[in-house]
Structure formats: structure tokens, C-alpha cells
Amino acid sequence: MSSENAEEIEELKFDDLEGIHKAALKEHKVGSLAVHRNHRLAYEDVRFLDGADSQWTEEELASRKSRGAPVLTVNALPTFVNQVVGDIMLNTPMLKAIPVDEFADKETARVIDGLFRNIGRRSKGDRVFKHGGKQSVGHGFGYMEVFTEYTGKDSFEQDIKFRSIKNSFSVIPDEEAEDITLSDQNKCFVEKRMTRDAFKRRWPGEEITDFTQARSKFNGAEYARWFMQNEVLIAKYYKRFKRTVEILQLEDGRVIKADDLLDDKALAKEVKGIKIKQKREAIYYEVYSYIMSGDKILEGPDKIMSQSIPVIRIAGQTQEIGDYTVLRGLIRHSKDAMRMKNYWLSTIAESLTTAPKTPYLATKKHVEGYENIWRNANRYNYAYLPYNIDPQAPGTVPQRTPPAFLPEGAFVQYQKMGEELKNTTGLFEASIGARSNERTGAAIEARERSGDIGTFEYIDNLNDAIVQLGEVIMEMIPNVYDTQRVIRLLNPDNKTIETITINNRVFDPNDSRLVLTENDLSVGKYDVAIEIGPNFTTQRQETARKMTEFLQVLNDQQKALVVDMIPSALDFKGADEMQRRLQVILPKGILPEEAGQPQQPQPPTPAEELEAQKLQVESEKNQVAAGKNDVEMAKVQLEAAKVAQEAEDADARTREIVLDTIEEINAPDEAANL
């Protein structure tokens, strides 16, 4: 591109749609030519990996089909590709935020980490990484795209997500970008073909230029890719514009843009009275996206919330040839070995199918009367073959001739090509899951590691792409999550969700005149790093495996002291109860609480909390019932006392009546005596 054209494009304004469209057509033409070689070779790889007739040369395929020879394709390459992709998924990196200045803190970094994980969960990040990894391993490159979307139909709040670009051949990146992930690209196209009817439904009233019209309008066939007979090519066009900004460093250490003091009155009031320590000019970028056809800009400009174009490349293996970078996948150098493996297998099959059936040696007298049976002896599996005794050849019986010669050299070459497949992919038996002589975990891991070294570039390039993905998300976070709202964080176990309020403005408890902002994600600078290693579930499985292997070198007494630790690394129903029972039989002093260092109690699970609540309700019911029983018992005792008192009173009255009666009876006797 000439310097004159470069200056013309550099001076474009983001809202000059006519100028943007004109420049985009030229950039698209240059970019398409630049990626043509990589796309052509990668497309051949994709077809070859698919198998069938694509793994044969046109000449050999035509020759075999013309004479009816077998054309066998035993496609072993997907096994190698899936093995590398499987290794990638077992060690999916996790994004981490690292505080790098005095205004960043660990708590905010923790919030960003949880936000990273939740963005990955909502974006189905494992699928995105798997798809991109499969593309890079298969044919040399895949792509991811970061975007924002509204949280609901009636909401103005947005969330950050990312996705895989299904068709990696639809991306036309900046041919001048040097970073393997395209972090420094200034333009990028993501193409999409659609039918003319679909185009009219999406953009009713917009013109669709035919190819004949395009020849005069756009100077001939060089823009033919945009205008087809039955389809329309549209593209999302990303463009990055450079902007020079004056930045200020205040005495308190903060660095702000001079423009922000004019646009943000709250910020200007906050820093009023703070002296400027130093200032300088810095380069910033603004990224805009457009939807364009060969005719015009259909939608846009839409401002992207980051300074980087949010299209990230996942590269396979790279080879620099002068100024050109060749991207290739795992099978690029394995195609000839696979072709020869198919050729020799088909040659063996052809030899076996065309070899004549071995005939029987017999005299005419032997088969006389049984000609029809012997004529079909090579076609049917008879239980027995009758024959006559030939007086002219006494002691002889019909018997087969020796079998036809088989091409042993073809078998040898077929097996040799299998070894060449392993050599060209760098994956050997242990790497693709085959059994070997190793029995211990360390020996198996050593054999597997030999294959991992040969394919490490794929994993390393995916890690670089994920770091760039995190950089783009990090740039977007302060711009997207810039209001007071509730967000979700995913905890490291990838299961539990935590909700927090960000940008929450509260009064300073020490000075009610000051307003503080809690969980302000726009304050501080953070770098993005990744933690490489097994995910949470894989870590537990690996821990359990290593513990089990370690038990094999211990005696029975030593095993009894540590066996209770294994259930904590297992994930099945009853593991906690198993651990509790094993701990009961441990000698005193082994557990921390018995040694004077009580363990902190584990928080109850939701199921345990529900069970405790049920027990509490039952206890309260029992207490109420017990209270009712006490009241009833008191009533019974009161009634019993009342009855007893009445009985006692009755007895007293009875005694009184009896005494009175006795006195009345004795009275006449006493009178007579007088």
C-alpha cells in the first residue's frame, strides 16, 4: 500500500461512511490476497481430514475406479487430532487479574477473577476453546470474537461474552499485524454469505448490485467476490483509529486523561486542588465496527468498548518464510503417509480379491457322476465331497493346490506407513492411549509427556490467545460495568455463584461529606495472566489417583494413619460419611482437634441446613406437645387433689355422724343408771 493511500485512510473519520466504505473495499482486496495461500493449504487439509476420496490423488482415484479396483480409506488422522485437543481441554487455562499499581487491590482482583469465570461460564468457554483448538490443530488457525449484549429486552445494562467464529476461512485479518494473536491489527473483516432473499428481509429497500453493474461501478472483476449470482457477501468490518491524548499524572499518583476533566464533572470536582505532577502525550485507539456489503455501509458505526479489535486468532504451528507466516495444523506433513497407507491397504485388498480360487487336483474318474458338486466346490461350503476311486491312480484322492501368492511387501509397507504417521504427527502409542509396558503413574506420564512436547506449540498458542482474550475483556470491563448494579461471580469450584454490588456509592464513615465507591472496577490497573493446570474436577481425580498409588508403598500400619484422607478427594455420594467413619478408628493425637488445634467447622451444605431446620421444627413441636402434657398433668393432679380432699371431708363427716349416733345410743343407759 502506498504512503499516500495510508495517509488517506489514517485521516478518515469514523463517521465518514462513504470514505470508510471506499477504503474498506481496497483493504479487503489486499487482505484477501495476503491470506490466500494459508487459506488454500488449510482448505486442502480440512478436506483431507474429512477422509473418503479426498485422501486420494485424482489420477490414482480415476485409475482405480476405471478398472473396478478397491479404493479403501482408513482415516487415522482424526484420532491424532482429537488426542491433542483432549490434552488441551484437560488443562484449560484460567484467567487471573494481577494488581500492578497502587490503586489496584487484591479484593478487586478477586472480583475480576470471579467475573472472568462467570463470563466464561455464560459464553460456554470450554466449547469455544475446544472449537478453536480443533481448528488450529486440524488446519492451522481458528478465531474467537468478544462482544457485548444487553442483559434483557427491557434493560440498558450490558454483559461481556465471547464466541467462536464457526468458519475460520471467513476472517480476513490485517496482513500487517505481527502478533500471533492479532492483538496489534488495525482492521479485520468477518465475512458472511447470505441469499438475496435473506438480505432483502434483513435490509429491506437496500440495493443489491449485480456483477455486470459492479464492473462499471467498481472498476471491473476485482470486486467480483462481493457480487454473486444467487448470494450476497456482507462483512463485519472492524477499524481501529489512532488518537493522540494528553495524559496527566496527579500528585496522588493517579493518571487521568485531560479530556476526562472536561467530560466528567464529578471527576473534575474530585481532583480539584490536586496539583499536576507531570503530563505528556500518549497514543490511544478507538475501535468501531460496521456491517458492509459491496455497495455501502449497511449498519454502524458502533463503538467497541476496547482499544483492541475483539477478534483473536488461535494459531497452530507457524513457519516464517521471509516476510510470510505459514500457518499449519497437525496433519499438514502427515498427508503423504496417510495416502500411502491407504494405497497399500487397497493394494492388499485388490490382490486378495483378484487372486484365483485354488482349484482341486482330481482325475475324471474321481468326479464322474459328481461333476456338478465339484464344479461348485469353490462357491459353496459342502459338508463333504463325494468321489470315486480311480483304478488308474490307486491310493490317490482329490486335493487342493497350494494357495495363491500374497504380496508380503505390501503388508510391510502398510505397517511402515503407520509408523510414519506417528513420526510426522509427533504422537506415539502412549500419547494416543495405546497400552504399553509401563505400569506406574510416573512411567505412564513420562511416555505421555514425550508426545506433549511434540505438540506443545498448539497448547502454547492457545494460551497466548486466551491471554489476549482476557486483555480485551479487561479493557471492556470498566466501560461496560460502569454503573451501580449487581453482578454474578463464579467461585473457583466452578459451581457456586456469588453476587455483589459494584460501583456502590456510600458515605465515608470517617467523613460524612465524602462519598466512596465500593467495588469500583474502573480504578486501578491490572495485568492478565493465566493459571495452567487441570480444572477443579480433574485436580480432585488426579489427587485421588496419586493418593491411591502412594498407599501401595506403605505398610498396613502406615496406611491406617492416612487412609481417611482419600475420601475427601473423591466425588461420590457417601464420601463424607466414609471419611467420618475412618477418622473414628484413628489413634488419638492424629486429628488436629485432638492435638489442641481444633479445626474450623465446615459450613453446612444446603441439604444439611434444610435437615437442621426440619429437626428444629420437630423439636419445637415436641416442646409444645410436652408443654401441653404438663398442663394436662397439672389438671389431672388438681382434680385428684380435689377428689382426695372431698373424700377426706366425707370421711370427717362420716366419723362425726358415727360419734353422734354412738352418743345417742349410750344416752338411755346412762339415764337408767341415774
What does the H/E/C string look like for 350-397?
A: HHHHHCCCCCEECCHHHHCCCHHHHHCCCCCCCCCCCCCCCCCCCCCC
Q: Give yes or no for residue 132 having a pLDDT over 90.
A: yes
How far apart, in whole angstroms, are the C-alpha atoms of residue 111 and residue 97?
A: 9
Q: Give yes or no for residue 499 having a pLDDT over 70.
A: yes
How far apart, in whole angstroms, are the C-alpha atoms of residue 72 and residue 343?
A: 8
Q: Residues 576-597: pLDDT tens digits?
A: 777 777 777 777 767 665 433 4
Select the more confidently predicted residue: 656 or 352.
Answer: 352
Q: Residues 24-37: pLDDT tens digits?
A: 999 999 999 999 99
Which residues have C-beta within 8 Å of that of residue 410, sequence separation ≥ 6?
344, 347, 348, 351
Which residues have C-beta within 8 Å of that of residue 358, sequence separation ≥ 6?
378, 400, 401, 402, 403, 404
Q: Give the residue-averaged pLDDT of 493-517.
A: 74
Q: Residues 212-224: pLDDT tens digits?
A: 555 556 555 556 6
Q: Which residues of 379-418 are buried (b: 16+ CB within 10 A; e: fewer)?
A: eeeeeeeebeebeeeeeeebeeeeeeeebeebeebbeebe
16-25, 42-51, 278-287, 579-588: least confidently modelled range: 579-588
Predicted local confidence at residue 8, as pLDDT: 45
Cα torsion angle, 315, 317, 320, 325, sign: negative
How far apart, in whole angstroms, are the C-alpha atoms of residue 186 and residue 284?
A: 12
Q: Give yes or no for residue 4 having a pLDDT over 50.
A: no
* β-strand partners of 98: 527
| Number of helical H runs and strand E runs in the chain | 21, 19
Predicted local confidence at residue 598, as pLDDT: 45
pTM of the model as a whole:
0.70
Predicted local confidence at residue 256, as pLDDT: 82
Q: How big, in percent rounded to 5, are the helix, strand and coil portions of the chain?
A: 50, 20, 30
From the CB of residue 326, how many other CB atoms can be counted at a distance below 10 Å?
Answer: 14
Predicted local confidence at residue 322, as pLDDT: 86
Predicted local confidence at residue 5, as pLDDT: 45
Predicted local confidence at residue 310, as pLDDT: 97
Q: What angle separates helix 536-551 from helix 441-454, to the nearest 10 degrees? A: 140
Predicted local confidence at residue 494, as pLDDT: 81
How far apart, in whole angstroms, are the C-alpha atoms of residue 338 and residue 3?
A: 48
Question: How much is the mean pLDDT over the chain?
Answer: 79
- Note the residue count of the chain: 674
Q: How far is CA 347 from the centre of its chain?
A: 43
91-105, 133-147, 309-323, 631-645: least confidently modelled range: 631-645
Q: Give the residue-averaged pLDDT of 335-351.
A: 89
What does the DSSP assignment read for 523-586? SS-EEEEEE-S--HHHHHHHHHHHHHHHHTTS-HHHHHHHGGGSGGG--STTHHHHHHHHHHTS
Cα 497 to Cα 10, 490, 492, 571, distances in angstroms: 46, 5, 10, 20
* β-strand partners of 235: 191, 292
Q: Give the residue-averaged pLDDT of 193-222.
A: 74
Q: How far is CA 326 from the centre of its chain?
A: 27
* β-strand partners of 144: 164, 312
666 burial type by CB count under 10 A (0-12 exposed, 13-18 middle, 19+ buried): exposed
- Strand 276-292 vs strand 255-257: parallel, antiparallel, or unpaired? unpaired
Percent of the chain with pLDDT over 90: 32
Predicted local confidence at residue 674, as pLDDT: 37
Q: pLDDT-based confidence at 605, cuts 50/70/90? A: low
Predicted local confidence at residue 670, as pLDDT: 45
From the CB of residue 587, how many other CB atoms can be counted at a distance below 10 Å?
Answer: 10
Select the more confidently predicted residue: 495 or 619.
Answer: 495
Cα 628 to Cα 20, 89, 371, 624, 625, distances in angstroms: 86, 64, 108, 6, 5
Predicted local confidence at residue 19, as pLDDT: 93
How far apart, in whole angstroms, are the C-alpha atoms of residue 401 and residue 362?
A: 10
Q: Give the residue-averaged pLDDT of 243-248.
A: 87
Q: How far is CA 39 from the centre of its chain?
A: 26
Predicted local confidence at residue 652, as pLDDT: 59
How far apart, in whole angstroms, are the C-alpha atoms of residue 324 and residue 421?
A: 28
Select the more confidently predicted residue: 619 or 174.
Answer: 174
Q: Give yes or no for residue 631 having a pLDDT over 60.
A: no
Residues 525 and 103: beta-carbon distance below 8 Å:
yes
Residues 90 and 538: beta-carbon distance below 8 Å:
yes
Q: Give the residue-averaged pLDDT of 192-209.
A: 87
Percent of the chain with pLDDT over 70: 73
Q: Give the residue-averaged pLDDT of 491-512.
A: 78
Q: Give the residue-averaged pLDDT of 267-280.
A: 82
